[in-house]
Structure 1
Amino acid sequence: MIQHVEAATKKMFVKVNRFKYYLLYALLIAACLTIIQCVSHKPLKTGVVSNVNQNSVKAAIDTPDFSRSDVLTPKQSMARMQLEPGYEVKLVAAEPLIVAPVAINFDNSGRLWAVEMTGYMPDTAGNGEDAPTGKIVILNDDNGDGVYDRRTVFVDSLRLPRALCFINGGVLVAEPPRLWFYPIEGDKPGKRTLVDPKYTEDGNVEHQPNGLLRAMDNWIYNAKSSKRYRFKDGKWLIERTHFRGQWGISQDDYGRLYYNDNSSNVIGDYFLPGFGYGNADQQNVTGYAERVVADNRVYPARPTPGVNRGYTKGTLDEQLRLRNFTAACAPLVYRGGVFNDGTISAFVAEPSANLIKRNLIGYSGNITRGRQAYIGREFLASTDERFRPVNLNDGPDGALYITDMYRGIIQHKTYLTEYLKNEIIKRRLSQPLNCGRIYKVIPKGNSAKFVAIPAEPEKLVDLLGHTNGWVRDRAQQTITDKKLLAAVPYLQQALAGSNQLKTIHALWTLEGLNALNAERLIPYISSTDAWLRVEAISIVPSVVNKASYKSYLSALQRLVQNRDEVTAPYIAYLYPVLSRYDKPGADKLLQQLATLYPQNKYVADAIISNLSGREAQFTSVVKDTATVFFKRLSKIVNNRKSRLLNNDPLKLKKEFPRGATIFSTTCQTCHGADGNGIKGLAPPFNRSQWVTGDKRKLIGIVLNGLTGPVEVNDHLYKAPEINGDMPGIGGAKEISDADIAQLLSFLRRSWQNKASAVTVKEVITVRSQLKERNSAFTVEELEKVFP
């Protein structure tokens, strides 16, 4: 058939105009070559883009047709980038050297290691997604020109790998549901060790842990996770911590963590990460998961109809451009040291809108606040729809590195709306799947070079004061990994210096070597530098013992007596470790803090985090019922009483096994394991009228989703308090109507909910009623459809 049509077409064109036929043929060949380029072109050794307005490029590139989404070469794609003046983008790797990268890291010699998630969403149905096609690859720059030339596969046959982290002469690799450790033996993996069989617990790709950030406190933290890891004394330790973020995690110069969710710009912790997660009845601890930058407005350089809920009123502006974040990820507090503009910048990627946002943040005591750096524009925005920045990193040369997955489909199948499926088909976004680029951004004319990490202890300690935070971190990690006790004298010398950050890194490096005692640490607890006091107090749990606890307790008591409000929350957080050695003394500290700071919510929540089961008896410490402390403590007392009334979760899991599984993998990460919601993400299920009320409405919400403000238990939840949208799962083929019936039955019987079960027939009936609908509900629409 095709051959006959082609012959007929050719004959017709010959009769009309032979020249027109050859012109059409040439254009067809050109279009094919554009697609083939993504498969076959060699890595570029040149290519720099500054502000796109300063470049002379082809008219086709300057004025793209937004109804199409052509595959562009790296050079063409770079020409589509609009960058903040004064900076330039350089290509450092592209396909076929790198394919579908989602995370990168650099080793001590500056080689780039990348995680390739090649199996992600082969089509709109996700067919073949579980195929073991993922890889960890090593890229070498053989001639030192800043562009990578050679690729070595370190590990292959991985299923949707998502993160890597260097530690202890090897590399941690996150491959759901497991976390593996591979020794590095001459660029080949040694025998792997299973670190955590439940690094993830099922769930779709968008709702699984990632990040593997090796933080200043020598622990490894993750986004979309409440676990932290550490290798100590020959063993892997796994501890509980705060639940943080969705995709990507970063730290500032003082070791505080930053993250976000898909609709939020920058979320972060005001306090160091190792505290405040000890009370199961305390749903939110003030000072953690705070909205550092609450403004979620974005400014794409192109129309962006291809976002998952582009049909929803208010999602796009009059020019069909995304208004607010919908796929925010990869928050990075830039610490590279070469931007040198006097600001502290937090960058955030938005792959759905093909941009990278810059925020400016600042510190006031323990509190961090920020704002967008620009109004009406972005740090980097592209008119290439396939430019998908999914991760951001500092590099050994101080540059800002961009991991560009470069593909059409970025939304996972579980939440893929029919609207977006049609957009994907319309602009042929499904293929190809074998592209990928790594870029770096530097100031124009910058000549910063890669800093190789040395082996000598003295040189490593010198690097703890380097202007590049990546270099400081890696020097600290190298000393602790290699257990370089020969570095201890140099570290002690560093403590006496005037470089604040070098002193902080030296303290934590000594902590990592188990070489820090009270004599060295206590002077910093009373330092005139507030940051040094905070860091020193945070190290106490690692070093306190029977011989030293009295000295630490005395130093902390002096701070309390001096009314040091900055360190007051940290002192409260030390209660668990101090009470092991002197419970009366530790109790007295808490009581003093509660009395001195009755209106300080940070101190109040720090104290409450240590009172699990003892909240009621502690109410007598502060009798003024109008204080912040009393109100917050009373709320936890009520939470505890409420929790004790919950239904038996084990019984429910046996009754609705599939429903319990779907809840834990799809719903729990936003609504909380206790059903009481999660700050910044979603409202509660527990005692929610939407869960226990009209079954039809509940089924409709789960099938199609819910957007906009929603009232639950007499409280109006709306952005930015929560994510503004709950996606539906009605289009997920792997979740059947029977599964949905089990899930909803589980929800309606869990916690203190006592509603009747949902049947498969009821789900089928509502699905049939909504068969013409492909958009999420607002509350008003839901009430009209199901009066």
Structure 2
Amino acid sequence: MQHKNLLLTTVISSLLIFGISCERDHNNADERPLGERCLSLSANMGQAPAAEPGEADYESYADLEVPPLPPEEALETFNLVEGFRIEVVAHEPMITSPVAMDIDSDGRLWVVDMPSYMPGDDMDVLQDAVATMERERVPEGRVTVLEDTNGDGQMDTHRVFADSLILPRAIKVLHDGVLVGEPPNVRLLRDTDGDGKADSEEIVYNSYGDASDPNNHGFPGGLMWGMDNWLHSSNENVESIRRVSGHWQTRPFNRLGQYGMSQDNWGRLYSSSNSWPLQTHFVPHGYSDRHPEFDISEGQNVRIAPNKPLWPAHPTGVNRGYRDGMLRDDSTLVQFTSASSTTIYRGGQFGSEYVGNAFTPEPVGNLIKRMIIEGDPSQIETEARFAYQDREFLTSTDERFRPVNMYTAPDGGLYVVDMYRGVFEHASHLTDYLRNYTIEHDLHKANGPYGRIYRIVREGQDIDYDTPHFSEMTASEVVGYLRHDNGQLRDQAQQVLAQCSPQEVIPELEEIVAAGQEASDWTRLQALWTLEGFDRSVYGQEELTGTALEALGDDHARVRASAIRILEPAIAAGDNNVLTSLEPLAGDSSPYVQLQLLASLGESNVDPGLELIARILDQHSTNPYFREMALTGVYQREAQLAGLLRDEYDWSSDRGEAYAQLLTALDQAEEERPQRNLSGLTEAQRTLYEEGRQKYSSCISCHGQDGSGVSGVGAALDGSEWVQGDPEALARIVLQGFSGGAEERGEDISGVMPGHHYLSDRDVASILTYIRQSWDNDAAPVSPEEVERIRRQTEDHQGTWSPAELRERTD
């Protein structure tokens, strides 16, 4: 069973459950700085030697049509709206062709360089996409650490943490290592000897883009730590990842944008995609894969802002410039063509009117667009409008200015990552029109050895460049930053606390969640998610459930909705107290809360949960968001839901097309499902089988609805010797994982299935019982007691099982 998200009921939330609750003595708080307790990366990097700054060459290219400008001259090409200024934070040769960055707990910048992208000074690169791909796959990428040691706002030291990377494009700094997205892998790089350079690596995810694709524009980007404690990335076919009890887990995400990821103060995610500067999910994400017949198509990856007009400062080379309506008569760009990595401003330095605004770079037009997002967060939908008419937030007359990423800075400003290069469009999409323009203006020359990071600040507003060092703080001091006006610092506090899980601050966090209007809405929300991110051995599931139940009564809709999502493990377990507490929210004043409740109730397998689904669906019978979400959550219970709607709410085809369509869909899903004779099973075993049948819905994408497997993804389960053979071997595969190859039914079953030890004994037993009793399989059920025994026997096993090991231990 090769599947990274074996159980969506647990993948959504339950895979966060591990360990047991322990008694805590809050009177013995550990007052050591967190850098001495768990932020080992910060401690190590503080000792790393700085590299020599070197020099950049500008004179050799001074005669080019569009020459590279020194940073101080490039500043003169910018035009910002009144009241703002732009400053240089770092520049070449410290960084070259930067594409992404992250800010660590002590304010250092970790920058991903991609100098091999469309390598310069070679006409062949512009002519041949295949040749370009070969040239790009040289290991020239690197991760550089930049630090401001004197608090003046400029990075004055740099250190190369990792090099010899191939087209790296995403980064996230953790307390004990650095995640780097280097397609097709996400690697966790560590410095184990404290010299400031990575010397070990672990592949934590191996589906981060197709490295054989010549168009690397289609690779994911992001690795952004969301408020829900998952790391999210943009583009297609990429899952969210999270480390739980030392093990990396994944869950479906649903495509959002093309490159980069940002979040607002409520945890709503945003991205952008070429022609579209701002996209978001209206509906809660992560629920699409629960049903083999029903998916979510509405309310995901929604374009909420127009794509024109733009107001660049000068004409530029545009790939589609030959098309009518793409350029004005003066050859300036009319609409977005390379919208890249939008950011939601969450700092306080600009002023409150800018908080929650979206800023999206347009590298081809050498500008940055500001958008104002409108809409009540208690509602499902939102939209954005351009902040200005006939001008942009920032423009430049330097055609090598290529802003590709933006971030809220710890000081409250906005960092701008400038790839600074002439060639920006990839050879796989380069048109003759842009190729000729590029050669005519010498933009393919001096293409790659430069790069800048700028900071945009509000003039006349206080700014402190000496950013906080969380590694030097006690846990209680870090909690104080959850109240900060700067969302980046709140995020940093959440991430530090979640990774370290200091038990002495739990009462303080619980008090913030329960504080009502004494704490800001987003502080209460972030404190709640901080507790959700704690190790369950420190903050047990029962305690988290209690805190989330209290948060159901919060005044803010997004806090209530988050509390519902955090309660999903209890919902999946059929907790009557939790389901009773959720009943009033079926009539909540916020449509978004009702939609989240509908989504989370899809994790339930008991009648009260289904009854609430029917009640909410009846209120929103014609709303596509509610209809689709309801259908995804009733796998194997379609007939029950149809019966409730007919009997309790008088649904019939005569009431209208919307009612008829949904009832027909439910009826057909039930009728087309193969039935199996379970007469040979006891009642308890039949119950296990039915539970496993529902849970298997999230295994389908790898193993197929009929157990036939998915080529290149997951092995066949129907007729499998491993599935029908010794249940101990099968249980070990599910608990600790499987790797290697084995001749089976004439096929070579190879690959890696991660362990799912975080599943309960009953969950594992139900899945195993279902797959051993389904399709052409006819093997004995497996009891929770058997799984418990096997778990105890194998709990010290390190790594995944090989076929040889399994055969040796079970013969």
**TM-score for the superposition, normalised by structure 1:** 0.70
1:356 aligns with 2:368: yes
Are 1:605 and 1:632, in contact at CA under 8 Å, matched by a contact in 2? no
Question: In 2, Cα distance between the equivalents of 1:77 and 1:591?
Answer: 61
3-state SS, counterpart of residue 588 of structure 1: helix
Which residue in the other structure is 1:508 paired with? 529
Question: In 1, Cα distance between the equivalents of 2:320 and 2:368?
Answer: 20
Are 1:397 and 1:451, in contact at CA under 8 Å, matched by a contact in 2? no
Are 1:600 and 1:628, in contact at CA under 8 Å, matched by a contact in 2? no
The counterpart of 1:112, out of the listed 106, 109, 112, is 109
Question: In 1, Cα distance between the equivalents of 2:350 and 2:671?
Answer: 53
Q: How does 1:619-638 map to 2 (within 5 A)?
A: 621=645, 622-624=651-653, 626=656, 628=658, 631=661
CA-CA distance at 1:279 after TM superposition: 3.6
Question: In 1, Cα distance between the equivalents of 2:328 and 2:673?
Answer: 44
Which residue in the other structure is 1:537 paired with? 564
Question: In 1, Cα distance between the equivalents of 2:266 and 2:176?
Answer: 25
3-state SS, counterpart of residue 208 of structure 2: coil
Question: In 1, Cα distance between the equivalents of 2:110 and 2:293?
Answer: 41
Which residue in the other structure is 2:596 paired with? 570
The counterpart of 1:419, out of the listed 433, 454, 460, is 433
Listed as ranges, the gaps of 5+ residues in structure 1 are 1-35, 42-60, 651-659, 662-787
CA-CA distance at 1:184 after TM superposition: 3.9
- Percentage of identical aligned residues: 32
Q: How does 1:203-602 map to 2 (within 5 A)?
A: 203=213, 204-225=215-236, 226-282=238-294, 284-304=296-316, 306-343=317-354, 344-364=356-376, 365-432=379-446, 433-449=448-464, 450-453=467-470, 454-497=472-515, 498-499=518-519, 500-513=521-534, 514=536, 515=539, 516-542=543-569, 546=573, 549-561=575-587, 565-579=591-605, 583-602=606-625
CA-CA distance at 1:623 after TM superposition: 2.4
CA-CA distance at 1:542 after TM superposition: 4.8
Counterpart AA for 1:265: P
CA-CA distance at 1:277 after TM superposition: 4.3
Change (3 A) 1:282 1:318: farther
The counterpart of 1:607, out of the listed 622, 625, 630, is 630
Which region of structure 1 is more displaced relative to structure 2, 322-331 or 361-370?
A: 361-370
Change (3 A) 1:564 1:267: closer
Counterpart AA for 2:452: R
Are 2:235 and 2:258, in contact at CA under 8 Å, matched by a contact in 1? yes
Question: In 1, Cα distance between the equivalents of 2:508 and 2:592?
Answer: 30
Question: In 2, Cα distance between the equivalents of 1:641 and 1:85?
Answer: 65
Change (3 A) 1:284 1:606: closer
Question: In 2, Cα distance between the equivalents of 1:597 and 1:227?
Answer: 30
Counterpart AA for 1:210: G
Superimposed CA distance per residue, residues 457-488 of structure 1 (whole angstroms, 9 cap, x where no aligned partner): 11111111111111001101101111212221
Question: In 2, Cα distance between the equivalents of 1:248 and 1:577?
Answer: 30
User: How many residues matched?
Assistant: 585
Counterpart AA for 1:469: G
Are 2:89 and 2:154, in contact at CA under 8 Å, matched by a contact in 1? yes
Question: In 1, Cα distance between the equivalents of 2:386 and 2:513?
Answer: 36
Superimposed CA distance per residue, residues 380-439 of structure 1 (whole angstroms, 9 cap, x where no aligned partner): 011111000000111111111000000011111111111111111111111212000100
Superimposed CA distance per residue, residues 124-168 of structure 1 (whole angstroms, 9 cap, x where no aligned partner): 242611110000001122222111112110000000000100224
Question: In 2, Cα distance between the equivalents of 1:102 and 1:224?
Answer: 16
Question: In 2, Cα distance between the equivalents of 1:38 and 1:428?
Answer: 19
Which residue in the other structure is 1:162 paired with? 169
Which residue in the other structure is 2:160 paired with? 153
| Structure with greater contact order relative to length (CA < 8 Å, sep ≥ 6) | 2
Question: In 1, Cα distance between the equivalents of 2:491 and 2:115?
Answer: 30
Question: In 1, Cα distance between the equivalents of 2:81 and 2:294?
Answer: 43
Change (3 A) 1:396 1:178: same
Question: In 1, Cα distance between the equivalents of 2:570 and 2:483?
Answer: 24
Which residue in the other structure is 1:709 paired with? none
Which residue in the other structure is 1:138 paired with? 145
Are 2:110 and 2:144, in contact at CA under 8 Å, matched by a contact in 1? yes
3-state SS, counterpart of residue 391 of structure 2: coil
Superimposed CA distance per residue, residues 632-671 of structure 1 (whole angstroms, 9 cap, x where no aligned partner): 6767999999999xxxx99xxxxxxxxx99xxxxxxxxxx
- What is the alpha-carbon root mean square deviation over aligned residues? 2.9
Which region of structure 1 is more displaced relative to structure 2, 386-395 or 415-424?
A: 415-424
Are 1:258 and 1:268, in contact at CA under 8 Å, matched by a contact in 2? yes
3-state SS, counterpart of residue 142 of structure 1: coil
Listed as ranges, the gaps of 5+ residues in structure 2 are 1-53, 120-124, 646-650, 675-700, 703-710, 713-811
Which residue in the other structure is 1:784 paired with? none
Question: In 2, Cα distance between the equivalents of 1:161 and 1:331?
Answer: 19
Change (3 A) 1:135 1:640: farther
1:198 aligns with 2:219: no
Counterpart AA for 1:258: Y
Question: In 2, Cα distance between the equivalents of 1:392 and 1:166?
Answer: 17
Q: How does 1:659-674 map to 2 (within 5 A)?
A: none
Question: In 1, Cα distance between the equivalents of 2:273 and 2:670?
Answer: 28
CA-CA distance at 1:605 after TM superposition: 2.2
Question: In 2, Cα distance between the equivalents of 1:71 and 1:166?
Answer: 31
Question: In 1, Cα distance between the equivalents of 2:352 and 2:545?
Answer: 39
CA-CA distance at 1:441 after TM superposition: 0.4
Change (3 A) 1:553 1:283: closer
Question: In 2, Cα distance between the equivalents of 1:607 and 1:472?
Answer: 34
3-state SS, counterpart of residue 508 of structure 1: helix
Counterpart AA for 1:139: L
3-state SS, counterpart of residue 273 of structure 2: coil
CA-CA distance at 1:224 after TM superposition: 0.8
Counterpart AA for 1:509: T
3-state SS, counterpart of residue 99 of structure 1: coil
CA-CA distance at 1:601 after TM superposition: 2.7
CA-CA distance at 1:68 after TM superposition: 3.4
Superimposed CA distance per residue, residues 358-390 of structure 1 (whole angstroms, 9 cap, x where no aligned partner): 000022223222101012111001111100000
Are 1:115 and 1:163, in contact at CA under 8 Å, matched by a contact in 2? yes
Question: In 1, Cα distance between the equivalents of 2:491 and 2:667?
Answer: 41
3-state SS, counterpart of residue 558 of structure 1: helix
Change (3 A) 1:398 1:633: farther
